[in-house]
Structure 1
Amino acid sequence: MGVYIIAEAGVNHNGKLDLAKELCLAAKNAGADCVKFQTWQTEKIITRSVAQADYQADNTGRAESQFDMLKRLELSYDDFRAVKAYCDEIGIQFASTADEPDSLDFLLTLGIPFIKIGSGEIGNIPYLRYMGSKKKPVLLSTGMSSLADVELSLEALRQGGAEDITLLHCTTSYPCPYDRVNLRAMDTLRAAFGLPVGYSDHTEGIAIPTAAVALGAVVIEKHFTLDRHMEGPDHLASTEPEAFRQMVSAIRQVEAGLGCGRKTPSPEERSISEVVLKRVVAARPIPAGTILTADDLTVKRNDRGLSARYWDLVIGTPARRDYAADDAIEL
């Protein structure tokens, strides 16, 4: 299976079912394997007094609490049933991040293919154990965390019973500056834990997720919106359909270009080599029986005769026949 590409619709539906469905269809048309949302009951994940993060306040332009913002963006379980049915209808996988246990239990009734754990749950020991107990494949984002934080969270997941775990390197910044991405941390995660590693992207453009694939990412998740200028906390750090389609195309090209790692000429190269690689030819007329010396021979492109790699084997052997200049030399 190739790199698994997730269009992270997240909360970019702005609390509207019709917009959520539009995001699903746009993600399908852009080439995503999966469209993913976020599912929660606001009263169960946040107190009423918590302020918005700076980027949320900047992007929404609203003087409101996180509670009020999340309540405004919350979709109902019935909405998500409708979204899942629509995804099945158009042929794209549906997934969602559950921000609390009741929503996780609900999503599991919809048959989600994996449990996606957002970076905000790093260190949430009881919930991580609960998610691990569901014995589903897990994608764990690792934003805002150190290696020790990741180790602690993995231990909790495994205590619950999780076995199939993929780590997603992530920098929690919206949008993320390029010099804060630190893609080489993917190598560190892979070496430290021996697990598959992917990348959850918050940068502008498509260069960084494409580069992540070249570094071995098996999953790419990128925020997705219909219009970056819509009102909402995540639109500005998201990718519009055409750019997402270009990213998918670039990823598939890089994926194909990575190959198997074995260094051997391709079939096309073998054909070209027949007329491009140098061969041993006569430098001047040579009578039959002449003991061949370097003065008798040269190397040129030719479509027959011995490869130049056999030069040392030819020197000191008798000419098998009369050779005119530029004739291919035979052993």
Structure 2
Amino acid sequence: MTSPQKPPSILRLKDREIGPDRPVFIIAEAGVNHNGDLQMARRLVDAAIDAGADAVKFQAFKAEDVVSVGAAKAEYQVATSGGGESQLDMVRKLELSGAAFRELQAYCTERGILFLATPFDFGSADLLAEMNVPLFKISSGEVTNLPFLEYVARKGKPLIVSTGMCFLGEVDEAVRLLQGADCEDLVLLHCTSNYPTRPEDVNLRAMQTLGAAFGFPVGYSDHTIGIAVAQAAVALGACVIEKHFTLDRTLPGPDHQASLEPDELTAMVRGIRVVEAALGDPIKRRVASEDAVARVARRSLVASRDLPAGTVLTRDLIAIKRPGSGLKPELLSHLVGRKLRVAVAYDQLFELGFLE
């Protein structure tokens, strides 16, 4: 097993950093939810921007280079798009050209959002490298495709790698190969490759296992319904969150039903920003906003009755009441047995200057 020799690294892009103690990098996964329509893809870019995502990601492939003629559809694909066509026929209809990707990249640059795409074949990796994408996102299905992993790693770009369907040993083999190809800018995403994923199949703590085992930043690629699990992943230390989205869940196609609609994507992004703001640091301390409440809610030592000067204080003469702006209760034993040099009224806060 690969052993981390240093704290998790920071993946550095041109305009931002991804890693611990950095803002969560949120990838709006458009995937193939454009249904092969470039204009719909542009609308997905708009929706990702409106939601506040950091990047919008598509899937780049040449259908014949990825899927063989006899390949069957996955069960979820049959459920969402019917069983009357092969996987190859389905995928052909979801393909975008290189020219379309270049146009989308230009549109993303114009609109101020990062364009990303997952390559599924050697030619698509070449295309994205020519487009000078800032990083490569590798899908879960390619973790055991070691020749392809090495080919992409040799492009010299940072990698974000999903690990759905993987045993830890398979991830280890992939990481060793990537490091052997001089890839040290790496983020590992925990993932469950089912669409949708049941919460009981998420095993979110395995994300932390990835970080402990390999010493790279970790994140989560979410296929559950809703946004709660993605937000929980942030609370557990995810540096990257990836989530499928669509313009309309009722559209035809394999991935729409397990995707967020635009208003849900917006809610997820906002929720993640709330969670990361709430995480703070490991130091347990009182924050400044609690000071005023502490003065009201905490307690002080006060006189339990009117006390004349010269009174020797006994325990029954000292009460512990709000507010918290006087002597702290921990000083109780310091007062017992001491003589008052001034009179103290009922419920008056004691002061050290009252004592002889």
Q: TM-score range by the shorter chain?
A: over 0.9
Does the alignment pair 1:172 with 2:172?
no
| Counterpart Cα distance in 2 of 1:137 and 1:321 | 74
Runs of 4+ deviating beyond 4 Å: none
One-letter amino acid of the counterpart of residue 240, structure 1: E
The residue that corresponds to 2:68 in the other structure is 47
Pairwise CA distance, 1:113: 2.0
Number of matched pairs: 331
- Residue 250, structure 1, aligned to residue 271, structure 2: yes
Choose from 92, 96, 114 the match for 1:93.
114
In 2, Cα distance between the equivalents of 1:135 and 1:49? 34
Paired residue secondary structure (1:188):
helix
Instruction: Using the TM superposition, give the Cα deviation of residue 62 of structure 1 relative to its aligned residue in structure 2, in angstroms.
Output: 4.6
1:206 correspondence with 2:227: yes
Q: Whole-Å Cα distance in 1 between the matches of residues 131 and 342 of structure 2?
A: 80
- For 1:222, which of 228, 243, 252 is the aligned residue? 243
Deviations 1:303-324 (A, max 9, x none): 6421223222222322241111
- 2:166 equivalent to 1:150: no
Q: Distance in 1 between matches of 2:324 and 2:36?
A: 69
* Aligned residue in 1 for 2:14: none
Percent identical among aligned pairs is 49
Q: Any conservation in 1 of the 2:73–2:83 contact (CA below 8 Å)? A: no
TM-score of the aligned structures, taking structure 2 as reference length: 0.90
Correspondence for 1:325 among 305, 324, 346: 346
SS in 1 for 2:93: helix
Checking the alignment, whether the CA contact within 8 Å between 2:30 and 2:57 is kept in structure 1 is yes
Question: CA contact under 8 A between 2:313 and 2:338: conserved in structure 1?
Answer: yes
* One-letter amino acid of the counterpart of residue 263, structure 1: K
Q: What residue is the counterpart of 1:108 in the other structure? A: 129
Residue identity in the other structure for 1:314:
L
Q: Secondary structure at the match of 2:219?
A: strand
- Counterparts of 2:338 and 2:155, CA distance in 1: 75
Separation in structure 2 between the aligned mates of residue 236 and residue 113 of structure 1, nearest angstrom: 29
RMSD (Å) for aligned C-alpha atoms: 1.3
What SS does the corresponding residue of 1:73 show, helix, strand or coil?
Answer: coil
Structure-2 separation of matches of 1:71 and 1:201 = 25
Give the TM-score taking structure 1 as reference length: 0.97
CA distance in 2 between partners of 1:163 and 1:36 (Å): 22
Deviation of 1:192 after TM superposition, in Å, equals 1.5
**Conserved? CA contact 2:190–2:206, under 8 Å:** yes
1:12 and 1:306 map into 2 onto residues whose CA distance is 65
In the alignment, is residue 20 of structure 1 matched against residue 41 of structure 2? yes
Shift of residue 288, structure 1, vs aligned partner: 2.4
Gaps of 5+ in 2: 1-21
**Distance across 1 between alignment mates of 2:171 and 2:324:** 59
